[in-house]
Amino acid sequence: MVPAKVIAEIGCNHLGDMKIAKELISIAKSFCGADYVKFQKRNNRELLTPEQYEAPHPVPANAYGDTYGAHREYLEFSKEQHQELMDYCEEIGIGYSTSVWDVTSAREMASLQPSFLKVPSACNLYFDMLEVLCTEYKGKIQLSLGMTTQAEEEKIVEFFEKHDRAKDLLLYACTSGYPVPADQTALLEITRLKEKFDDRVEAIGFSGHHLGIALDIAAYTLGAQWIERHYTLDRTWKGTDHAASLEPDGLRKLCRDLKSVSAGMTYKAQELLPIEIETRKKLKWQES
């Protein structure tokens, strides 16, 4: 099996603080062994209606501003800050990416030329933005399928095929919720997506919002080549995503276990392996 790629989804778990963002990157690389970190980029005036922007945060305890718009702006990094984060990732040897939520953000992040950009489940039917990614960005495109009907999945893939970009597209099996109970992670959707789209897109992955790491291992054995998990320094911090995130030790164990499973997912190279031959001499009963 192809070894899994692990994305540490920082998202907005940096609390709007560049120092924390860089600490998250550094730990994801040096302690956890992740392959990529990923952030989020929004143009909040474009993404939100005036009413949504000026409304209070639906969960005041998680708010970083007096309105939802102010909350989102507090957590938002500029294009220049994303460039700084991308440069820092390159410096220490870990991949950088970001999710984009609107046309302006898609164009801004595409100009940085990361190896891939992500379309979150909430925006996967925003075809004006998908058009920008297909026509103005040359890198790979990843897209989550939470909150998406099977008819909508087909429409999305056909859109990328129309633009001759489907082979640059990775689809994530995903259940949208924070956190998601194990019995609603629906891991067999990975099998369904592979059966339907494996020969039409680049690959299938799994984006999880559950607790623990056991389900990610199962997702990999079902054929998910990329594993994406939200990641934070402290699950008790204020914010929407922290509770459904892995802390550094959890992410480290996930990366470790995925490597072990990848190494073990083989057939025997010969009927009796060298390690068995020595043991056979000591233990194996044979007819005289």
Give the pLDDT confidence of 249-271 residue by residue, as tens digits: 999 999 999 999 999 999 999 99
Residue 218's pLDDT is 98
27-38: average pLDDT? 98
Residues 13 and 24: beta-carbon distance below 8 Å: yes
Residue 153 has pLDDT above 90, yes or no: yes
Residue 287 has pLDDT above 90, yes or no: no
Residue 41 has pLDDT above 90, yes or no: yes
pLDDT digits (tens, 9 = 90+) for 203-239: 999 999 999 999 999 999 999 999 999 999 999 999 9
Phi, psi (deg, nearest 5) at residue 226: -125, 135
Residues 103 and 128: beta-carbon distance below 8 Å: yes
Please give the CATH topology (third level) of the domain spanning 5-283: TIM Barrel (3.20.20)
143-166: average pLDDT? 98
Residue 240 has pLDDT above 90, yes or no: no
Confidence tier at 111 by pLDDT (50, 70, 90): very high
With residue 156 as reference, give the H or E element that holds it: helix 150-162
Residue 182 per-residue DSSP state: G
- Domain residue extents for the chain: 5-283
Across the chain, mean pLDDT equals 97
Q: What is the rounded end-to-end Cα distance, in angstroms, of the chain?
A: 41
